[in-house]
C-alpha cells in the first residue's frame, strides 16, 4: 500500500506541470488559430492578435512553480497523498483554465475583427480565468507549506 501512495505522490508532483502544459498548448492553439484567421480578414494589428493568443501559456509557468513548491526531500506514505491531492487538483485547474482561456481569447479575436474598438474590453473574461489560475497557484503554495517533510 505504501508503494502505491508513493507512486501517487510522484504523480502529484509532476501533474501541475504536465496538465498545465497541456492546457497551455491547447489554449494557445485555440487562440493562435483564431489569430491566424483574423489576420486574413484584417489590414493591420496582427501583433495584438498573436500577443493575446499566448495568454494561456502562463498555466504551464504556474504548474512549474507549484511543482517546485511541492518538492520534498523524500516522497513517502506520510506526504504522498497530500502531494497527489494538491498536485492533481491544481493541475486540473491549470488544464481547464488554459483551454477555456483559449476559447475566450478566440472569441475576443473574432469579435474584434468586426469591431476593433472592443478589443481591450473583450479580454476581460480571459483575465478572470487567469485569476482563477492564480487562486489555484496561491492555494497550492499555501498548502504545500503544511505537507509533512
Which pLDDT value is given to residue 108?
95
CA–CA separation, 95 and 81 (whole Å): 21
- Spell 92-121 as b/e; 16+ CB within 10 A means b: bbbbbbbbbbbbbbbbbbeebbeeeeebee
Which grid cell is 83? 502531494
Q: Give pLDDT tens digits for 116-147.
A: 899 999 999 999 999 999 999 999 999 999 99
pLDDT computed for residue 45 by the predictor: 76
Give the integer Cα–Cα distance in Å for 112 and 68.
38
Instruction: Say if residue 81's pLDDT is above 90.
Output: yes
Crossing angle of the two packed helices 77-114 and 58-70, in degrees rounded to 10: 170
Q: What is the mean pLDDT of residues 100-106?
A: 97
Half-sphere exposure of 42 (CA within 13 A, CB side): 21
- Structural domains of the chain sorted by starting position, each given as residue range(s) with its CATH number in brackets: 2-144 (1.20.120.610)
- The confidence score (pLDDT) of residue 52 equals 94
Report CA dihedral (133, 138, 143, 147) to the nearest 10 degrees: 100
The pLDDT of residue 97 is 98
Per-residue pLDDT at 133: 97
With cut-offs at 50, 70 and 90, classify the pLDDT of residue 32. Answer: very high
Amino acid at each position: 500500500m505504501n508503494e502505491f501512495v508513493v507512486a501517487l505522490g510522484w504523480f502529484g508532483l509532476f501533474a501541475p506541470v504536465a496538465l498545465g502544459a497541456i492546457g497551455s498548448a491547447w489554449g494557445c492553439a485555440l487562440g493562435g488559430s483564431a489569430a491566424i484567421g483574423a489576420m486574413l480578414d484584417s489590414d493591420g494589428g496582427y501583433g495584438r492578435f498573436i500577443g493575446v493568443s499566448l495568454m494561456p501559456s502562463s498555466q504551464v509557468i504556474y504548474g512549474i512553480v507549484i511543482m517546485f513548491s511541492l518538492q520534498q526531500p523524500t516522497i513517502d506514505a506520510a506526504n504522498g497523498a497530500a502531494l497527489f491531492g494538491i498536485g492533481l487538483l491544481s493541475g486540473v485547474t491549470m488544464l481547464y483554465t488554459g483551454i477555456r482561456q483559449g476559447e475566450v481569447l478566440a472569441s475576443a479575436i473574432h469579435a474584434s475583427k468586426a469591431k476593433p474598438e472592443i478589443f481591450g474590453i473583450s479580454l476581460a473574461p480571459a483575465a478572470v480565468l487567469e485569476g482563477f489560475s492564480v487562486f489555484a497557484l496561491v492555494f497550492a503554495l499555501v498548502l504545500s507549506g503544511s505537507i509533512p517533510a
